[in-house]
Chains A and B, each alone.
Chain A
């Protein structure tokens, strides 16, 4: 369950990326945050992922108010989220498998268990055959699928994605969206930020439209 009340994020310099936003996303729901570039979608995703802290208002995720949560508690909360970024944020100094292993190493799993789970995640996104490949050798769509594998390997309760198909062709984008729908079907709360309106017809999510940081 994600509940935002009068949520505002103001950056140094006074720019308000998110203004007085209130909404609720139930556990297991699929939600879509839409809006034009600069509408505040990325900031809202970052707030939900506790990468940014709210300036005012409250944001309760899984029963924890991110506005008041201790800094030292944030890493443990973040482990309940799966994050997928537009630029993937993959590590190019290691293999695809090692990229997916990272969240499991952070969680303290033994190497054997971690490898088993990472391979299962790679299999789920269709990349098991390329587990030893460096991400730089993968196509844009494969890189995004790898990022999704990394996001879901820890079995998160919430999957947050910011423009996950922005740089992909239609087929790759469709395959990525199918993956999110699959995770939603098994009970994961999925929050997607996108400007792509075609997604609404494909997966019938709860839609939150943002414009200049305000919810319409």
Chain B
């Protein structure tokens, strides 16, 4: 166990030495990896913020329940009672008189409303369920429409559906982009390690002759790949956070102009950890592929 740990420590130290022995080429590789990871990471942050913005937008998850025109207040009270029993939703009652007043206040409608012999509007409920999933909204709309004295249920989920479809498309595009850039990261590491194996050919030959196992020879290259990937991931996290800091204030001002309070955000610790671990795993994979192929040539 002690020998195993000693060898891993030595391999890690060797990887650090190799990385710092050629700072310029290491920096360029880190930049390539960092930028490759920044684009999908920034895309993920953008989608996450859009999703939150969408879920906060008013009207996205509203269901309007219109009573029959002949429905009495007792009927409306019954619906109110049922809504209360359902739980997990917010609702408000809009009496027909309030609805008519609101209509009167609408520009150009005052005269039309005044000419009406009686109030044609029904009592209504505006229901906002906590679950904004379009399928759940549909199911709830169906339930409400079956209730007594309910004339019409208007599901305002079309926008939510479109938004959800947009987010799904965005996620898919992002996954493809992430896959593409992950392949790029593996390729960068592959090439870096290939050059290193060629440069270390003499040492590898000697080490093999004096009893080095394949694992001993491969280990420093694996650590190098993982270290380079992890550092690239940290660089990407820093770039994303830097970008957010720059954009945060203008986005907040824009949101304020629309009367909303919104700031860009990203999960700093989780995001940075995920990028560093993801980068390390991809770097390790690139190193493994490269070492397997390159060592055959050296051997």
Contacts and interface: CB of A to CB of B under 8 A. Distances in A.
A75 B208 contact: yes
Interface of B: 2-4, 6-7, 10, 202-203, 205-214, 216
B21 to A, nearest CB: 10
B210 A79 contact: yes
Contacts, number: 58
Given A79-B210, A89-B209, A150-B210, A105 B7 contact: yes
Given A89-B205, A91-B202, A106-B216, A76 B211 contact: yes
Contact of A106 (B2, B202, B205, B211): B211
B6 A51 contact: no
Given A105-B10, A108-B3, A108-B7, A78 B207 contact: no
A154 B208 CA distance: 15
Interface in A87-126: 89, 91, 93, 102-103, 105-111
Interface in A44-102: 49, 51, 72, 75-79, 81, 83, 89, 91, 93, 102
Contacts of B208: 75
**List of 6 A-B pairs having minimum Cβ-Cβ separation, nearest first:** A108-B3, A79-B211, A78-B211, A75-B213, A106-B212, A75-B211
Among B207, B211, B213, B216, the most chain A Cβ lie within 10 Å of the Cβ of B211
A102 B202 CA distance: 13
Interface in A4-34: none
A111 B205 CA distance: 22
10 contacts: A72-B214, A75-B208, A76-B213, A78-B210, A79-B211, A89-B202, A102-B210, A103-B211, A105-B10, A108-B6
A110 B10 CA distance: 9
A111 B13 CA distance: 12
Contact of A108 (B4, B207, B210): B4
Contacts of A78: 209-211
Nearest to B212: A106
A106 B208 CA distance: 10
A154 B206 CA distance: 15
Nearest to A91: B203
Among A77, A81, A93, A106, the most chain B Cβ lie within 10 Å of the Cβ of A106
Nearest to A78: B211
Contacts of A79: 210-211
Contacts of B209: 49, 51, 78, 83, 89
Contact of B206 (A75, A91, A110): A91
A165 B94 CA distance: 105
A78 B214 CA distance: 13
Contacts of A107: 3, 211
